[in-house]
Structure 1
Amino acid sequence: MLSAPLLFLMHCMINLRRRIKNLATKMVITSGNEEDRGSQEKENKEESILAMLGIIGTILNLIVIIFVYIYTTL
């Protein structure tokens, strides 16, 4: 016979599957007109550029912190 924690875990997994299935059906991509797709592609490109700049900025900040730490400890 299954233990209570295992039954609870199985119940949670079933609920999670149902929620994911409901979410997936709600997130249906509708095809818009050409202008919407063009603006969406432009926004996606801008977002990817901003994300890349954020990553580069973070890396540069870490390098500066490392150099300042090394300089101050010498």
Structure 2
Amino acid sequence: MSRARGLRSLWLTVPMYAVLVLVVVLDVRAAVFWGRVGGSLGTRVALAAGVIALLAALLLAFDVRRQLQLARDLRR
């Protein structure tokens, strides 16, 4: 029997968001560093770090939006 997908508890959500924000910050820093290093390898690694940071930021934004919508629906 599957559990209904709903609002996650706060003790699980806040640490997950903190980890995702940390991943975004570290990947942006890595992208800047490798972008300054330059060369063929530096450019590729900077691009990869930028893509990972973008994906993590999008995941965070979509999940925050979903959790807020679920919380709003539960109040009604």
Q: TM-score, normalised by structure 1?
A: 0.49
Higher radius of gyration, 1 or 2: 1
Q: TM-score, normalised by structure 2?
A: 0.48
| Higher RCO (C-alpha 8 Å, min separation 6) | 2
